[in-house]
Structure 1
Amino acid sequence: MQLQEFSSWTPEIWSPAPFDEWKDKLQSVCGRFTPFEWEERHSVNGGVILRDAAGMEIVQVATDVEAVRREQHDIRLDYGEYFFLLVQLQGVCGIEQQGQQSIISPGDCILVDSSLPSNFYFNGEFSNHLSVHLPRQLLLAEKPNDIDASRRLGAEDPMSSMLRALIAKMLQTPASHKRCGELRQLLLHATRQAFATDAPDVPLCPRERVSGRLEFARTLVDRHLTAEWLTPQWLANRLGVSMRTLQEDFNAVGTTVTSFIRDRRLHLAKERLVEKQRRGLGEGTTIAEIAFSSGFNDISYFNRCFKKAFDCSPKDVVRK
């Protein structure tokens, strides 16, 4: 499939780069992903290029390595704060996440959750895709937020065409443009619609393993993050386990239920504050309104937690 809107992103010749140099660049812009070279080739035909598109990060990843993996220990050390919206430009890429396996070809789109382990397979063949970094909490802050990550949207799907068109428009829009905020919100809304699950909202059944229950717990927290009824007891009831069992599950990964919910809400508030800063100090909602809409009901408590989590105050963020 010819993607005319991205023709400048598909050069015929890519300069080879040392494998370690390519790996360091990938990790510096995408996080803790571990690539594996193909048959001790020691070089990569491609590159990793970070661009600002209407105030949102878009990374071009071109490579012919064997595979790239993100394991559970990578996620623990590298907070999973993004969904990666991938648009395949050249070649093919195999993606595995949550037991789902997909192969994306030119024009296809797929959503990858950085808070879950994932595998990308290239098998030494050249692949070139764009990865749009969508702030996780902003994407999940509005309905529909029952998002079906890892589901491939084929190149001919109208939703896939719409996402590609929006991304192409953002790549042509400088961060200083007055309509950047609207473009970012439009992409977030289009992504929610494109990947919204069609499954009914049925009660979740906890799995036998702790990791299975934690996966369900994370999903429930993300879907109900700003709801006043989101408490540890509500979460335990929805999962069908006792409070003690739920606390033990979270203790096993070095946190508590309360801390997990609070940290998710803090990251949502921070993303909203960053968006406020981009739009201008005098525009949009106040810091207090952002705190309340992110699930906090005590502004003093919010300020203390924010300062401890990010080593700066909410005002520092909007004045950055």
Structure 2
Amino acid sequence: MELLKNQDLMQREWTPMPYDQWTNDLRSICGSFNPKAIEHNGVVTGAARRVDVCGMEFAHVSNDLDRVHRDWDDIRKDANEHLFLIMQLEGSCGVEHVGQQAVLDVGDCILVDSTRPTTFYFGGQFSNHLSLHLPRQIMYSASDVDFDIARKLEAFDPMAMMLRALVAKIMSTAQSDATSSNLRHLMFSATRQAFVSSGDTISALNDSTTRRLQLVDVLIDRHLTESDLCAKWLATRIGVSIRTLQEDFQGLGMTCTTVIRDKRLRFVREKIEQTKDQKGAKTIAEVAYSAGFNDISYFNRSFKELFDCVPTDLLRPVSAPGH
């Protein structure tokens, strides 16, 4: 099934819906974003809905707004970190991300990082796209492949065609299907390969505070589960004093140690949620140890503080409506 012919994603007529409802729907699915309309008449033509298939989460977003923006304050509000694989289904969309700009036409794909400010431009014209949410830590820490963020794949690029075909297959496969786990792993791998980097991203970064923090963020994700990962190791790796690194993070209202801890907690949560129904899956303690935690009591306290639940809550079956 070709993704661009999926009738569940394309409608002959899109019904206007209340602006506030559309905004709330978008934030419940994608995190904190700020939409702006050219003429705020209280309605948006389109919808923002979550699609869960094959154990993967998609956001199906359509609108005729002027733009949708996400800044550093929005990023701090969100507990989850994802890479968004965006596929344009109808219309066009401008994307400004990590200092790069691109225009997505029908069939084009782009990879966007939820931990970086982003602006989507629509100019009041109708746009419809599908966004696959890929857990950020899993994408980075489970790979030795360097891949690019904010690089557009044009519709007729073989890699874009491959990604659309794979997403179409995933969207027609139930999570209970025996092949669903393999399809998820294939999606992770295929996305990395589709956006594989052609150069040394790390050596290309300069020494400004913003660029230093971008470099540190990449290093944390690449070495997240290694026991040596700490503020001192990072400062040495990028060639600055630990005081300079600490001041960089203070400017964001956080510490390097907290960032590493929270990234490890999110990584553990994603791992538990992805493997909890698999036979022979690791215990919570084993996943925590593998993520770099050495003290399970500290891990449990930190998990509760960040997610307002204990790790074992993730293993409980979801209650059916009315129960």
- Please say whether Structure 1 and Structure 2 have the same fold, judged by a TM-score greater than 0.5: yes
1:187-219 per-residue CA deviation (whole Å, 9 max, x = no partner) reads: 1111111112121365465533x3332222112
Separation in 2, partners of 1:293, 1:165: 34
Tell me the amino acid that sits aligned with residue 292 of structure 1. Y
Which amino acid letter does the alignment assign opposite residue 84 of structure 1?
A: F
Q: Is 1:113 aligned with 2:110?
A: no
User: In structure 2, what is the equivalent of residue 288 of structure 1?
Assistant: 285
**Partner residue, 1:188:** 188
- 1:131 and 2:131 are equivalent in the alignment: yes
Segment of structure 1 superposing worse, 246-255 or 50-59: 246-255
1:217 alignment partner, SS class: helix
Describe the superposition over 1:219-275 as per-residue Cα deviations: whole angstroms up to 9, x where unpaired: 211122122332211111122211111112212222221111111111111100111
CA distance in 2, matches of 1:80, 1:207: 28
- Given that 1:225 and 1:294 are in contact with CA atoms closer than 8 Å, whether structure 2 keeps it comes out as yes
Aligned pair 1:314/2:319, yes or no? Answer: no
CA distance in 2, matches of 1:83, 1:96: 15
Superposition map of 1:39-78 within 5 A: 39-78=39-78
Matches within 5 A, 1:239-258: 239-258=238-257
Offset of 1:60 from its aligned partner?
A: 1.0
After TM superposition, the score normalised by the length of structure 1 is 0.91
What do residues 28-69 of structure 1 show as CA deviations (whole Å, max 9, x unaligned)? Answer: 211111111123343221111211111211111111110000
Equivalent residue for 1:84? 84
AA at the equivalent of 1:197: S
**Partner amino acid for 2:257?**
T
Answer yes or no: is the 8 Å Cα contact 1:95–1:119 preserved in 2. yes
Partner Cα distance (2:303, 2:65) in 1: 40
> Secondary structure, in 3 states, of the residue corresponding to 2:173?
coil
Q: Give 1:130 shift.
A: 0.4
SS in 1 for 2:6: helix
Q: Which residue of 1 aligns with 2:298?
A: 301
> CA 1:23–1:313 in 2, change beyond 3 Å: closer, same or farther?
closer
Is the CA contact 1:227–1:295 (under 8 Å) kept in the aligned structure 2?
A: yes
**Match in the other structure for 1:178:** 178
Q: Say yes or no: does 1:229 pair with 2:261.
A: no
Note if 1:197 corresponds to 2:184.
Answer: no
2:321 aligned residue: none
8 A Cα contact 1:52 1:175, kept in partner: no
Note if contact 2:93-2:104 (Cα within 8 Å) is conserved in structure 1.
yes
- CA–CA separation in structure 2 for the residues paired with 1:78 and 1:201: 26
The answer as to whether partners of 1:137 and 1:264 remain within 8 angstroms in 2 is yes
Distance change (3 Å), C-alpha of 1:3 and 1:53: closer
Q: Cα distance 1:270–1:205, how it changes in 2: closer, same or farther (>3 A)?
A: same
**CA contact 1:306–1:314 (8 Å) conserved in 2:** yes
Q: Which amino acid aligns with 1:70?
A: R
Q: C-alpha deviations, 1:262-315, integer Å up to 9, x for none?
A: 1111111110011122x24x4322323322321223444333332333233333
Query: Partners in 2 of 1:301 and 1:3 — Cα distance?
Result: 45
* Residues 4-19 of structure 1 mapped to structure 2, 5 A cutoff: 4-19=4-19
Residue pair 2:3, 2:165 contacting (<8 A) in 1 also: no
Superposed CA RMSD: 2.0
Structure 2 counterpart of 1:212: 211
**Which letter maps to 1:308?**
E
* Alpha-carbon separation, structure 2, partners of 1:319 and 1:17: 36
- Post-superposition CA distance 1:116-155 (Å, at most 9, x none): 0000000011111101111111211211353311111111
Structure 1 counterpart SS, 2:292: coil
Instruction: Check conservation: 1:80, 1:115, Cα contact below 8 A.
Output: no
Distance 2:80 2:196 in 1: 20
SS at match of 1:9: coil
In 2, the alpha carbon distance for the partners of 1:169 and 1:316 equals: 31
- The residue type paired with residue 132 of structure 2 is V
Name the SS for the 1:260 alignment partner: helix
| Structure 2 contact 205–211 (Cα < 8 Å) conserved | no
- Contact 2:32–2:74 (CA under 8 A) maintained in structure 1: yes
Secondary structure at the counterpart of residue 287 of structure 2: helix
Question: Does the CA-based 8 Å contact 1:16-1:44 persist in structure 2?
Answer: yes
Report how many residues are paired.
316
